[in-house]
Structure formats: structure tokens, C-alpha cells
């Protein structure tokens, strides 16, 4: 019995409906159903069909039904529009299909060119045929003995193609067999028809012509009732040339939008035309007929016979030939089972799939026997190399075949692989044992498409509408045809290139090879075996031709071949040989023989392809030198050609060329510094200076030429242009004008820019410091809450990174601070949406919180950095990302780069530090009671959670050490240690590694920026990380060397080129904390901070600032006092009138500069805590008289101790609880006086004594400011007692315990 269609064929789309189940041999033969289906392509009204089982009657009636139902293509307003989601991408048609659950998805690209239609070579690729003498007309018994199977596979030559002998039959064998040739009158008709095809001017005309040619009425032989609806492979009414021509022209017309010649549809775009082609049942019938011929099916085989041979013989082999339809699977399941494919993810054998897995040898024999009955030796009706290339080109151009990620490639496996291949592996991998089996797989798909077309015809007859149920299987059929052709090419040329003898004289010329590779690259059905084989043959042919004085491939063919390798992402020896050949050809005779023949498009495409392949190259390949040499030589030709005829280059060709230069770093201007986004490997060159000059001149020519026609550039071309100039570091007046022009185009036609174009263009403008506010506002407006889900993570991160870099802050900067800002002071959603930049940041944050797993490490880092850089606090975002990173199954830092790790930690620390600005701005409205360093740490705990923030920084330290700090740039190290110190978190292991790394770099004279030196030293001092004193000495020598002036002596001008004054003040403070005062360093620091002429205005002019910050002034008092006491021989002194006139001008507002260090000016912001009062009362009760917050000013220090501080009185020291008479002070050390040791807490903390006074207590260590203050007070004669807050709080408020504890301290 035979299976009939079932709803399984409709699983491929949710738009499809069920097909009713019917018995295999019920009232309608399956042949009759198929006949009715395909007969519907001519032009008649609805009629009736006959259920007569006789072939002739049923055939005529079913043909009439097909004609009536599909007499005209469905209008685009109905069928095509309903199938828009199906056609917008081939994978959409596969969603929910039988193969969707077994294969990944992949994107497709638009084709760039068409194959040439010049006359093909006279050689052929034969279909799956066999000697007709071997075929028994009766239902044959299929042998399955292992002995017979092994005998057929005994040689190595047979391992790659077990039935190769069938494809090497000579024409004489076919003639002797007495069959297989097409009658002369049919051949003449085919020739005439090919001429007719060339006169068609639209897709619809071509399909109508095909249906008419293959109809029963087209026959000139009496009694010939065959048609493409009732017979396979075109019913002997078309040959391979006809199929090739028809498909090729059809794809060309669709690309032009020429579906119909009628005025109403003649102006449709390419995508609309393609949708109508795929929704046209006539196209499905055309592809089925072509595929059957390509598989070698006898064109006299009826649809009925094909189904009987395929289904029934396979069922006999499987021992499943009884029953009246009971337990029968759906038709598409059975057809797929023929070649071991399941159409669904579930059980297809009623729970017995393990028992019913067909062995490899049985598959081999069964496929051979079935194809022997379906095929005959063909001598004329075979596909030539030209026809194969045209068919592949057309299928790729129409984007009808699925990508290999959605539908696995079909390949014939080798002998060893197939022996070990299990049935289950075969189900998912589509590995076949022979070309016969591949051909049978193709035929099974054509039969399934025909059944689905029939069901569609029957639905239309009953008044139903079309839903394109056949399209998913048609898509797979196209992929199978391409796979079949690929395997034949691999087998043919594989033997030839391995030194073997080919079975035919098949020869693809270079143009056909380029077309084939283009097709497989565009269809995403390429693999290394096919491309390496074809490339080897191309090189072989080229060498042979050149040896005999020939030219080899033309520029277009060579360009398209390299382009195909790049599009397919396939690298290897053959690809590198092609690059080498192209470079040699261009250079020969200085381009006179070959180079000058290249058109701009061919050169631009070649450059694009080379850059794409280079970007996919792994590290340490042995062929790097050869490839780089070829790339550089070709790109030189591209650059020279652009300068000679830039007007001949179209916008796309210009943008592609600039993109290629920048992608490989060809001619990169390193004088602009290394951008964090330029961490790519530059192509090696033997003339870097010459290449740099060449690219500089080329870019200048491009900038001037492109500026005048930017309006002709598409959005993506503008994006590539701006990105290329920026990444190459080309900074000239012409470039500035060009980028301004790009920004203006973005503003004028924002909605033409795709999400990727928005993000990258803004990135380029920001990196090049082209801050066009209108352009940035326009770009930001696209990333709104309504459309944000259409943006990819990289596009979102690039956009907010660019906005932050350009300094365009949201209008509602407190909109997201749910930790510190009361709800009543935060803007409403409507207010957020009223400002495009605020809404942009809101939208990006919402997506990063919704799907952080979709963001790459760098993308997450850039989003966090943007929020912190621009000064926008977003606790919810940072909490979500923190947990995503360090949760039980979190991402961790294993994939982060050194820059990514450093910037991520900097962003978290900066978020907490921004709390100081919120406190200053909102005052008592802030939901936080602490200030200064304690406020920063408490904010981080409230935002993220104390445990989470500690875990985050522990994991980051471990990740950094594992990555290796030698991979950190100076900026990375600076950002990382600053983040730890800002939050008061010390990971001793990481800081020791950082110290060693800094010392190593200083000895190797690796240049540091002033900011990096200040941040690193300040971080060690703040955390009391106890660096080796040699670190200060080495830094002193380095600073002296980089700050030396013209005469070898550091002066104000030479120092200002390296440091800002705040940085110098912090270096001086760090020396005081560590207790190390190198004489040369201290003199440089004082010279840079206050100068030598006691002129504050002069210093402002030299350093381009508005005066010293208040925090720097307070710092200098500490430094001056410490130096007077501990390094008096240096005789350092502040100016007499200091600080009058030295501070920032009143009303001055600091911008968001590059300063990472913002020393708190709140050292004498005296606040008395509840704990402090309680402790004071306890001491009073035990007889210790005291005052709260005793202040020591400069006059007291001068009068009582003789230290010469500036005359202007300043209060800069205080004691929490003081007995002035006894000079005993009690410091109540709250959390702000300690750093938290976050090394592995499972191990006991080391008790490290500091100057004999302090020791680490559990996870706490006194910080640098506390240590320096203690030393200064001690030098002034005070006996300072330290009371850690946790010890007093642990007493639980029991007064007697508290008194006893205080007595013990005294």
C-alpha cells in the first residue's frame, strides 16, 4: 500500500493547514493525485477530476484540475503577502519543519553578480544512471549480503563513490542497451524551445512557456498524453539546456523585479518578485522536473511509477509490506525514511527505530537497485558544466535553498566513515553511502513536493486559499540538488587532482568555476572539500594554460573566486595560492598584462575579500608571510588605481576599498596612538613607510572626491567610509570635512540607516572627535523603547559608548537612581521619552538587563562604561550584570580581555563614586546617611549587595592573574587598581602582581602617562597595600627622566607636558603615606604644583587649569607637615601666601575630564556619629575627661611645634575624642577607616604589623589616610588610641562591658 499526504507536510509553517489522511491505495491512486496537482498550470476555468484508476483517464482529468486551479499565479496581494514571513528569509519557512529541530540556522546574503551565459564546454556531468541491461522490469529483490557489499567496495577508488562505475558508462553501452536516447523530433523541439525561452521577458512568461511546452497538448506524437505533471524529468519534452536556460533567465528577471510584463506589477522590487516566484506552483514543478533530470531519472517514468518504485520497494526491503494502512506513517515520513531522514524530532518508527535502522550495506544495495529502475544510461540528456553552474547560480540568486546551518550538507562519506556511521548519526548528518542514495533523496523530495502541490490544487478547487505548504520542502529540494552537484564535482576533480583517472571528460572553465563557487557561497552551502577541489582545478587549468601561452582566468573570474572564498569563510592552502596568483598576475609587467584589465568593482571586491579572509585567520599559521605579501601587493594596486581613476569608482567600491584597508591595517597611521578598538593584527609589509604614504595620499583623494557626492552613498557605505577613515587614524582637514558630511547625511536620512549603521557611524564620529550634536541626537532617537529589540547588542553598545565619549549626557541624569534618589524626584516615563538621549540609555539598559547573556564581554563592558563615564547611575542595571557575572552559573571573567576587565571594574567603582555628586546635589533628600569614602562603599553595597560586590572583585582579581598582568596595558592596570582603591577593597595577591609588573615595565623603560603613574601610586597608598619602597625609587627616576626640560632640568613647562597638578599632588600625598621622600622627585612635584616664582596665575596658564582643587590644597598641608617632620633636610616649603589665590576660581565647575582621582575634600567635614557620642560618654563615666572633635590648625602647629606652615590659618587635623591636657586622643574608627581584605576568606588572615602600631584584624586593615593621620598626630606628641567600631558594637550595649573595654584601652 502507498502512503498519502498527512498534516505532517504542513508542519513547516504555522500558516499551513492539515492534509487529510487517506489509505495508501484508496479511491485515488497517489499517481492520480500527483497528476491532478501538476496539471494545473495551464489556463482554464474550474472543472472536475475523475477518480478512475486507469492511468489515461485519471491523467487527463487530473491534468484539467491542475490547469483550472493554477491557471494564473496568485496575486501578490493575497498569497505572496500572506507568505511574506516565509519568504523574507528561507529559515522562516523551515521554522517548525521536520529539519528545524536537527540543524542550526544561518543568515543569507544577497548575490552580487550573475553567471555569464556564453556557450558551455561540450563535456557533461552525468546524472545517476546505470546500464539498463542490469535492470529487471519486475519488482526486484534487493540483495543485502555483507559479502556482496564488501566486494563492491574493495578498492580505494570506490571509497568516495561506491556507484561511480555507473556514471562512467560510455555512449556505446547505452546504444547497445537499446534505450535512453531522446527521439530526434523531441531534440529538435527542445532546441526550438530554447530559442523561445530567450524571447520571454518576465518570470511569468517563462513559467507559462514551461507549462505549455511540457503539457499534453504540446506533443506532436499521436497518443502522447505525457506532461511534466504526469511524468518525471520534464516528460522527454525538455533537455538539460532548456532547464538551465529557463532557471537562469528566471533568476535574472526576478533580480530585476520583472515578475510580470503587465504594467501593474512591472515596477515591483527584487524581493517582491522573488516572493512571487517562490509562491508560484509552476516554479515548484519546474524545479522538481529539473531535479529529477539532474538525478538521472528516466524522463519516460510516470509519477505513479516513481512512487511505486520508491515506496513499495523500500517497504519490501524494510519488511513492512502488509496491512491496510493500519499504523501507517505520513507520506513525507515514509519518503524521508527512504534515505534515513526523519521529518520530525519524535519517534518515526512507532517505538522501534533502533530495530529498523537500515545497515550501511543494505542502504547501498537498496539505493542502487531502486535507481537502476528509475534511470537509464543517458547519452545526450545530461547536465554540462555550464548548465550545472547556471542551475546553481539561479538557485542561489533566488535564495531558495536553505543554509547549511538550517539543513545539513549532504555528502558521500568515505569507506571508513560509513562503516562506523550509526543510523542515528546518519539521520542528523545527511551522510550518504553513494551517489545513488543522494539521487534517491532528491527524487523523494520531488515526489513530496508534487504531492503537496496536488493537495494545494484540490484545496483551490474546493474554494480554499493558497498557503504555500510546498515551499519548505521545495527549499530543501533546492539544497539537495546543490549538494548532489557538489558531490559530483568533488568526486570528478578529486580523483583528477589526486592523480587518478576521471570517469568523464568533465571540465569547468574558469568562468564556470567562479560561478559555482559564488553560488555555493551565497547559498551558504559551501564546505572546504568543494572549494578546495574547485580551487585546485582552477589553479591546475591556469598553470596548464599559462604554460602554453594562455592568459588564465579573467579579472572578474579571479575576483569572484576570491570573493566566494571570503563569503563562505573558507581558508586554506588553495585560497592562499589564489591570493598569490592574483598578486603575481597584477604585478607582472607592472600591470600591463593583467592589472589594467581590472574594473573598479573587481579590484574593490578583491580587496574586500582579502581583508575578510585575513580577519578570519587564526594565529600562528605557517602561510602568514605568503598571504600577507599577496594581500599587500594587491591592496597597493587598489590604492594606486583609486588615485588614477577615483571618479570611475562607485560609492560602494570606494567604501569597500577603505573598509579593506582599515580591516587589515594597511597603511595604518600609528602616530595617532593606539585606539582601544584597534586591537587587530596589521598585515605584514616590507615597506611600511611607503605603504603609509600611499594610503595617506589615497585617503586624501577619496575624502575630496567622496565629499562632493555623499548624497549618492547608501547608509552602509557612509558607515564603512567613516569607520575606515577613523580606524586608520587618518586625521586631516579633508577628513574632518568628510566626517562632518557623514554626520549631516545621518541627520537628514536617519531612517535609512540600519541599526548596525547607526552604532558604527556614531562610534566613528565619537572616536574621531567629530561631535556633531544633531547627528548624535538623530542616531540616539532610533534607539527608543519601541524599537530597541530590533538592535543587536553590538549596535546598542556602540551607540551609548559613542554618546558617552562625545559627552552627550541624558537630560534626566537621575532618572534611574533608585538607591539614592527618592521616587518623587525622579522623572516619569513620559519625561524620559521626551529626551532622545535619556530614552536611548533607558532602552539599552532595559535590553542589557533582559538578555545579558546575548551581550559579548566587550559589549557589556562598553554599556557599563558608557553609563559611568557620562555620570548616569543605574543600580538595577549594574546589579543585574554583577549577578550575571558571578552567580553560581555566571559568565565569570574568563573571556574578558585586560581592557574589558579593567573598564568593567572601573565602571562599578565609578557608579558608587557618583554618589558623592548626588549627595552634593540633593543634600538631605538623599537616602544615605554617610559621606566621603564610607558613602562610596555603602552605596556600592546598597546598589549591588555587599557579598556580590566583594565576590565580583575577587573573581576579577583571580581572572586578571590567570590572564596574566603582562597582557594589561598601563591604562588597564591603572583603571583596575583605581577601582579597588575607590571601593576600599584590597586583593593582596593581585596588588603584589601589579607591583611586580610596574617595576618590570619601569626597568624596561615602557612609557607611562602621568595619569597612570598617579593612579597606580595613589591606589597603593590609599589601600595601604604596603609596596616595596623600591617602587617609589624607580618611579622617582622615571618621572625625573620624562619631566626633564631642555637643559636636563625639570621646570614648570616640561612637567606640564606629563602631569596635571592634581596628579602631582596625589603623587606627593602617596609618598607621604608610604613614608618615602626621594629628593629629586619631591622637588619636581613642588615645582609642578606651586612653581618657583610664587605666581599662581602663571601656573594656571602653564597647566591650562583654573587653579588647585580644594582636595589638592588639603593634601599639600598633610604632605608639607609630613615632609617637615620626616624629611626636613629637603627644606620643602609652600608659598608664603598659600593657599590664597591658588585655589579654583569661585563658581568654577569641573567637567567630566580624564581625572580618575577625585580626593575628597571632606576630611574636616566634622560630623559626630551616634557611636562617637556613646563612646565619649563611656569614657566620661570612667573618669576620662574629653571633648569631641578637637581641631588642630596651622597656627597651633607653628607656635607649639615650630613647623613652618603657610601663614594663613587652616584647620586640617582633628581628633574624635581628646583629652587636651594629657594629649591623649581616641579615634573611633568606623568603616571608612578600613579597607576590606578580599583574598580567599577561607584561609586565616595574616596579621601584618604596620610600624609596630597596627595589625590586620580579620578582614580589615587600616587605610592609608588613617595611617598618615596617626603618624602626624604622633609626631605632634599625641598618644592616639584606636577603637575599631566592630569591637565596641560587639559588646551589645551592656554598659559594664563597655566601661571595662574603654578602661582596657587606657
Please give the residue that has the higher pLDDT: either 497 or 509.
509
- Measured from the Cβ of residue 179, the count of other Cβ atoms closer than 10 Å reads 15
Whether residue 132 is predicted with pLDDT greater than 50 in this model: the reply is: no
**φ, ψ dihedrals at 38, nearest 5°:** -75, -10
Whether residue 720 is predicted with pLDDT greater than 60 in this model: the reply is: yes
CA-to-CA distance for 743 and 221, rounded, in angstroms? 70
For residues 854-865, average pLDDT: 96
Which residues, including other chains, have CB under 8 Å from residue 682's CB and lie 6 or more apart? Answer: 664, 665, 666, 668
For residues 1111-1119, average pLDDT: 90
Q: Tens of pLDDT along 74-83?
A: 443 333 333 2
By C-alpha distance, which of 932, 832, 899, 901 is closest to 872?
A: 832
Whether residue 1161 is predicted with pLDDT greater than 50 in this model: the reply is: no
* CB 374, CB 298: distance < 8 Å: yes
Please give the residue that has the higher pLDDT: either 1059 or 187.
1059
Q: Tens of pLDDT along 3-46?
A: 333 333 333 333 333 333 333 333 233 333 334 343 433 333 22
What's residue 649's pLDDT?
Answer: 96
Mean model confidence pLDDT for the chain: 77
* CB 310, CB 369: distance < 8 Å: no
What's residue 346's pLDDT?
Answer: 36
What's residue 9's pLDDT?
Answer: 32
* CB 665, CB 681: distance < 8 Å: yes
The pLDDT confidence band at residue 135, using thresholds 50, 70 and 90, is: very low
Please give the residue that has the higher pLDDT: either 811 or 348.
811
Whether residue 704 is predicted with pLDDT greater than 70 in this model: the reply is: yes
Whether residue 1059 is predicted with pLDDT greater than 90 in this model: the reply is: yes
Q: In DSSP terms, which residues pair with 1236 in a beta bridge?
A: 985, 1260
CA-to-CA distance for 64 and 796, rounded, in angstroms? 57
By C-alpha distance, which of 1232, 1205, 1041, 1195 is closest to 1132?
A: 1205
Whether residue 1050 is predicted with pLDDT greater than 80 in this model: the reply is: yes
* CB 360, CB 418: distance < 8 Å: yes
Whether residue 1200 is predicted with pLDDT greater than 60 in this model: the reply is: yes
CA-to-CA distance for 659 and 476, rounded, in angstroms? 35
Highest mean pLDDT among 235-244, 574-583, 591-600, 734-743: 734-743
What's residue 1082's pLDDT?
Answer: 96
CA-to-CA distance for 1304 and 1306, rounded, in angstroms? 5
Q: What is the percent of the chain where pLDDT is above 90?
A: 46
What's residue 538's pLDDT?
Answer: 83
CA 735 to chain centre: 28
Task: Tell if the pTM clears 0.85, that is, is over it.
Answer: no
For residues 402-418, average pLDDT: 78
Q: Tens of pLDDT along 85-125?
A: 333 333 333 333 333 333 333 333 333 333 333 333 333 44
**Range from 30-34, 208-212, 1061-1065 carrying the lowest mean pLDDT:** 30-34
* CB 568, CB 618: distance < 8 Å: no
What's residue 201's pLDDT?
Answer: 86
What's residue 380's pLDDT?
Answer: 42
What's residue 38's pLDDT?
Answer: 39
**Cell matching residue 751:** 531612517
Q: In DSSP terms, which residues pair with 1190 in a beta bridge?
A: 1215
CA-to-CA distance for 657 and 638, rounded, in angstroms? 7
Which residues, including other chains, have CB under 8 Å from residue 290's CB and lie 6 or more apart? Answer: 234, 243, 247, 391, 481
**Cell matching residue 418:** 560509513
* CB 985, CB 1238: distance < 8 Å: yes
For residues 1004-1009, average pLDDT: 89
The pLDDT confidence band at residue 218, using thresholds 50, 70 and 90, is: low
Crossing angle, helix 600-615 and helix 573-587, to 10 degrees?
Answer: 140
By C-alpha distance, which of 760, 775, 784 is closest to 836?
A: 784
Please give the residue that has the higher pLDDT: either 569 or 134.
569
Q: Tens of pLDDT along 436-467?
A: 888 888 988 898 898 888 888 888 877 777 77
What's residue 57's pLDDT?
Answer: 35
Q: Fill in the DSSP letter of residue 1244.
A: P
CA-to-CA distance for 672 and 674, rounded, in angstroms? 7
For residues 799-821, average pLDDT: 95
For residues 674-681, average pLDDT: 46
The pLDDT confidence band at residue 1164, using thresholds 50, 70 and 90, is: low
Q: In DSSP terms, which residues pair with 684 in a beta bridge?
A: none
Whether residue 183 is predicted with pLDDT greater than 50 in this model: the reply is: yes
Q: Tens of pLDDT along 891-910?
A: 999 999 999 999 999 999 99
**Range from 103-112, 184-193, 1070-1079 carrying the lowest mean pLDDT:** 103-112
What's residue 264's pLDDT?
Answer: 44
Whether residue 853 is predicted with pLDDT greater than 70 in this model: the reply is: yes
User: Which residues in 783-914 belong to E strands, given as ranges?
Assistant: none
Whether residue 148 is predicted with pLDDT greater than 80 in this model: the reply is: no
Q: Tens of pLDDT along 766-796?
A: 999 999 999 999 999 999 999 999 999 999 9
* CB 950, CB 985: distance < 8 Å: yes
The string of DSSP codes covering 1198-1235 is: HHHH-----SS--EEEEEEEEETTTTEEEEEE-GGGEE
Which residues, including other chains, have CB under 8 Å from residue 1260's CB and lie 6 or more apart? Answer: 1234, 1235, 1236, 1237, 1284, 1286
**Cell matching residue 1151:** 567637567
What's residue 334's pLDDT?
Answer: 31
User: Measured in Å, how far apart are the chain's first and last C-alpha atoms?
Assistant: 105
The pLDDT confidence band at residue 541, using thresholds 50, 70 and 90, is: confident
Alpha-carbon torsion, ordered 1131, 1134, 1135, 1140, to 10 deg = -170
Q: Tens of pLDDT along 317-368?
A: 544 443 333 322 333 343 333 333 333 333 333 344 444 556 778 778 888 8
Q: Tens of pLDDT along 220-235?
A: 555 567 777 888 888 8
* CB 831, CB 860: distance < 8 Å: no
**Range from 598-612, 732-746, 920-934, 1030-1044 carrying the lowest mean pLDDT:** 920-934
What's residue 169's pLDDT?
Answer: 34
What's residue 128's pLDDT?
Answer: 40
Amino acid at each position: 500500500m502507498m502512503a498519502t499526504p498527512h498534516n505532517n507536510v504542513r508542519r513547516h509553517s504555522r500558516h499551513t493547514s492539515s492534509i487529510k489522511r487517506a489509505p495508501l491505495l484508496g479511491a485515488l491512486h497517489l499517481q492520480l493525485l500527483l497528476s491532478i496537482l501538476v496539471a494545473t498550470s495551464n489556463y482554464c476555468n474550474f472543472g472536475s477530476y475523475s477518480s478512475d484508476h486507469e492511468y489515461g483517464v485519471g491523467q487527463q482529468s487530473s491534468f484539467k484540475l491542475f490547469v483550472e486551479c493554477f491557471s494564473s499565479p496568485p496575486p501578490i496581494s493575497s498569497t505572496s503577502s500572506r507568505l511574506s514571513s516565509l519568504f523574507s528569509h528561507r529559515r522562516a519557512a523551515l521554522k517548525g519543519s521536520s529539519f528545524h529541530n536537527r540543524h542550526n540556522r544561518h543568515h543569507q546574503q544577497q548575490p552580487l553578480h550573475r553567471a555569464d551565459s556564453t556557450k558551455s564546454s561540450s563535456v557533461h556531468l552525468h546524472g545517476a544512471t546505470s546500464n539498463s541491461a542490469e535492470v529487471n522490469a519486475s519488482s526486484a529483490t534487493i540483495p543485502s549480503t555483507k559479502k556482496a557489499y564488501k566486494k563492491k567496495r574493495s578498492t580505494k577508488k570506490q571509497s568516495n563513490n561506491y556507484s561511480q562505475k555507473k556514471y562512467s558508462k560510455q555512449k556505446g553501452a547505452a546504444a547497445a542497451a537499446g534505450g535512453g536516447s531522446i527521439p530526434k523530433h523531441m531534440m529538435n523541439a527542445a532546441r526550438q524551445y530554447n530559442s523561445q525561452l530567450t524571447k520571454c521577458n518576465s518570470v511569468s512568461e517563462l513559467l507559462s512557456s514551461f507549462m505549455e511546452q511540457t503539457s499534453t497538448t504540446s506533443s506532436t506524437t499521436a497518443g502522447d498524453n505525457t506532461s511534466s505533471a504526469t511524468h518525471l524529468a520534464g516528460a522527454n519534452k525538455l533537455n538539460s539546456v532548456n532547464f538551465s536556460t529557463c532557471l537562469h533567465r528566471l533568476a535574472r528577471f526576478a533580480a530585476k523585479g520583472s515578475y510580470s510584463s503587465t504594467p501593474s506589477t512591472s515596477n515591483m522590487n527584487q524581493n517582491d518578485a522573488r516572493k512571487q516566484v517562490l509562491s508560484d506552483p509552476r516554479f515548484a514543478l519546474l524545479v522538481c522536473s529539473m531535479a529529477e533530470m539532474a538525478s538521472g531519472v528516466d524522463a519516460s517514468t510516470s509519477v505513479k511509477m516513481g512512487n511505486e518504485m520508491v515506496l513499495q520497494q523500500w517497504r519490501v526491503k524494510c519488511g513492512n509490506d502488509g496491512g491496510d494502512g493500519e499504523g501507517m506513517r505520513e507520506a513525507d515520513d515514509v519518503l524521508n525514511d527512504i534515505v534515513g531522514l526523519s521529518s520530525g524530532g519524535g519517534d518515526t518508527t512507532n517505538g522501534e527505530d533502533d530495530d529498523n535502522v537500515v545497515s550501511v550495506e543494505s542502504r547501498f544495495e537498496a539505493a542502487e537497485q531502486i535507481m537502476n529502475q528509475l534511470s537509464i544510461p543517458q547519452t545526450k540528456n545530461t547536465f554540462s558544466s555550464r548548465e550545472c553552474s547556471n542551475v546553481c547560480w539561479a538557485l542561489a540568486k533566488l535564495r531558495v535553498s536553505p543554509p547549511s546551518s538550517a539543513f545539513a550538507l549532504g555528502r558521500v562519506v568515505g569507506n571508513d566513515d560509513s562503516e562506523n556511521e550509526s543510523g542515528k548519526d546518519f539521520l542528523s548528518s545527511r551522510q550518504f553511502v553513494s551517489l545513488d542514495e543522494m539521487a534517491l533523496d532528491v527524487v523523494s523530495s520531488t515526489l513530496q513536493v508534487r504531492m503537496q502541490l496536488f493537495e494545494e490544487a484540490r484545496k483551490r478547487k474546493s474554494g480554499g486559499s493558497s498557503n504555500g505548504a510546498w515551499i519548505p520542502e521545495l527549499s530543501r529540494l533546492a539544497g539537495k540538488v546543490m549538494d548532489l552537484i557538489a558531490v559530483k564535482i568533488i568526486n570528478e576533480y578529486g580523483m583528477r587532482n589526486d592523480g587518478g583517472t576521471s570517469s568523464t571528460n568533465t571540465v569547468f572553465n574558469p568562468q564556470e568555476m567562479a560561478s559555482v563557487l559564488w553560488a555555493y557561497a551565497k547559498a551558504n552551502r559551501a564546505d572546504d572539500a568543494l572549494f578546495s577541489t574547485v580551487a585546485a582545478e582552477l589553479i591546475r587549468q591556469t598553470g596548464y594554460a599559462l604554460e602554453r601561452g594562455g592568459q588564465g582566468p579573467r579579472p572578474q573570474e579571479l575576483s569572484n573566486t576570491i570573493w566566494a572564498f571570503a563569503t563562505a569563510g573558507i581558508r586554506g592552502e588553495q585560497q592562499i595560492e589564489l591570493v598569490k596568483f592574483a598578486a603575481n598576475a597584477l604585478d607582472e609587467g607592472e600591470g600591463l598584462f593583467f592589472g589594467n584589465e581590472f574594473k573598479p568593482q573587481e579590484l574593490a571586491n578583491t580587496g574586500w575579500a582579502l581583508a575578510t579572509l585575513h580577519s578570519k585567520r587564526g594565529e600562528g599559521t605557517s602561510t602568514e608571510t605568503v598571504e600577507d605579501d599577496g594581500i599587500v601587493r594587491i591592496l597597493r594596486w587598489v590604492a594606486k588605481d583609486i588615485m588614477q581613476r577615483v571618479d570611475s569608482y562607485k560609492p560602494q567600491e570606494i567604501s569597500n576599498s577603505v573598509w579593506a584597508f582599515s580591516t587589515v591595517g594597511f597603511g595604518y597611521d600609528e602616530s595617532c596612538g593606539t585606539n582601544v578598538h584597534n586591537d587587530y593584527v596589521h598585515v605584514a609589509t616590507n615597506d611600511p613607510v611607503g605603504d603609509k604614504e600611499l594610503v595617506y595620499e589615497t585617503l586624501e583623494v577619496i575624502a575630496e572626491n567622496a565629499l562632493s557626492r555623499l548624497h549618492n552613498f547608501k547608509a552602509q557605505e557612509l558607515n564603512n567610509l567613516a569607520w575606515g577613515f577613523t580606524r586608520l587614524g587618518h586625521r586631516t582637514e579633508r577628513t574632518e570635512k568628510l566626517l562632518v558630511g557623514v554626520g549631516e547625511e545621518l541627520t537628514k536620512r536617519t531612517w535609512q540607516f540600519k541599526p548596525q549603521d547607526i552604532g558604527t557611524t556614531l562610534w566613528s564620529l565619537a572616536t574621531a572627535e567629530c561631535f556633531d550634536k544633531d547627528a548624535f541626537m538623530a542616531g540616539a532617537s532610533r534607539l527608543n523603547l519601541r524599537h530597541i529589540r530590533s538592535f543587536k547588542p553590538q549596535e546598542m553598545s556602540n551607540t551609548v559608548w559613542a554618546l558617552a565619549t562625545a559627552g552627550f549626557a541624558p537630560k534626566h541624569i537621575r532618572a534611574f537612581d533608585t538607591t539614592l534618589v527618592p521616587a518623587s524626584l525622579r522623572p516619569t516615563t513620559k519625561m524620559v521619552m521626551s529626551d532622545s538621549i535619556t530614552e536611548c540609555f533607558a532602552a539599552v539598559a532595559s535590553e542589557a538587563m533582559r538578555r545579558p547573556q546575548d551581550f559579548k564581554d566587550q559589549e557589556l563592558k562598553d554599556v557599563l562604561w558608557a553609563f559611568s563615564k557620562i555620570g548616569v547611575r543605574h543600580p538595577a542595571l549594574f546589579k543585574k550584570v554583577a549577578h550575571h557575572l558571578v552567580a553560581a552559573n555566571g559568565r565569570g571573567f574568563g573571556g574578558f580581555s585586560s581592557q574589558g576587565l579593567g573598564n568593567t571594574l572601573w565602571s562599578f567603582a565609578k557608579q558608587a563614586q557618583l554618589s558623592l555628586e548626588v549627595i552634593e546635589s540633593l543634600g538631605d533628600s538623599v537616602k544615605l546617611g554617610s559621606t566621603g569614602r564610607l558613602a562610596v562603599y555603602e552605596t556600592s553595597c546598597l546598589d549591588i549587595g555587599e557579598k556580590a560586590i566583594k565576590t565580583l572583585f575577587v573573581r576579577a582579581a583571580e581572572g586578571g592573574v590567570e590572564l596574566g598582568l603582562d597582557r594589561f596595558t598601563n591604562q588597564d592596570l591603572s583603571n583596575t587598581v583605581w577601582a579597588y582603591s575607590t571601593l576600599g577593597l584590597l586583593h593582596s595577591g593581585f596588588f603584589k602582581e601589579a607591583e611586580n609588573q610596574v617595576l618590570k615595565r619601569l626597568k624596561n623603560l615602557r612609557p607611562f602617562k602621568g595619569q597612570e603613574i598617579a593612579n597606580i601610586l595613589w591606589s597603593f597608598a590609599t589601600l595601604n597595600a604596603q609596596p616595596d619602597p623600591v617602587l617609589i625609587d624607580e618611579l622617582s627616576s622615571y618621572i625625573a627622566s620624562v619631566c626633564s626640560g631642555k637643559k636636563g632640568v625639570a621646570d614648570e613647562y616640561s612637567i606640564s607636558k606629563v602631569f596635571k597638578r592634581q596628579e602631582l599632588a596625589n603623587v606627593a600625598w602617596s609618598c607621604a603615606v608610604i613614608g618615602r621622600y626621594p629628593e629629586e622627585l619631591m622637588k619636581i612635584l613642588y615645582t609642578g604644583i606651586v612653581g618657583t616664582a610664587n605666581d599662581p596665575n602663571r601656573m594656571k596658564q602653564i597647566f591650562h587649569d583654573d587653579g588647585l582643587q580644594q582636595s589638592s590644597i588639603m593634601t599639600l598641608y598633610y604632605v608639607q607637615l609630613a615632609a617637615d617632620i620626616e624629611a626636613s633636610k629637603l627644606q620643602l616649603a609652600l608659598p608664603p601666601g598659600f593657599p590664597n589665590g591658588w585655589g579654583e576660581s569661585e563658581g568654577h565647575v569641573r567637567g567630566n575630564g580624564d581625572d580618575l582621582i577625585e580626593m575628597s575634600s571632606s576630611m574636616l567635614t566634622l560630623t559626630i556619629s551616634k557611636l562617637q557620642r556613646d563612646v565619649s560618654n563611656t569614657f566620661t563615666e570612667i573618669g576620662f575627661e574629653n571633648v569631641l572633635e578637637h581641631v588642630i590648625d596651622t597656627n597651633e602647629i607653628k607656635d607649639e611645634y615650630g613647623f613652618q606652615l603657610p601663614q594663613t590659618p587652616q584647620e586640617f587635623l582633628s581628633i574624635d575624642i581628646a583629652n587636651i591636657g594629657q594629649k591623649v586622643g581616641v579615634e573611633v574608627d568606623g568603616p571608612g577607616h578600613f579597607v576590606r581584605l578580599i583574598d580567599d576568606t577561607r584561609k586565616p588572615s595574616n596579621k601584618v604589623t604596620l610600624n609596630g602600631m597596627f595589625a590586620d584584624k580579620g578582614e580589615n586593615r587600616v587605610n592609608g589616610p588613617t595611617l598618615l593621620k596617626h603618624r602626624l598626630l604622633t609626631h605632634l606628641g599625641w598618644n592616639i588610641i584606636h577603637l575599631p567600631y566592630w569591637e565596641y558594637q560587639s559588646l551589645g550595649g551592656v554598659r559594664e562591658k563597655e566601661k571595662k573595654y574603654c578602661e582596657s584601652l587606657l
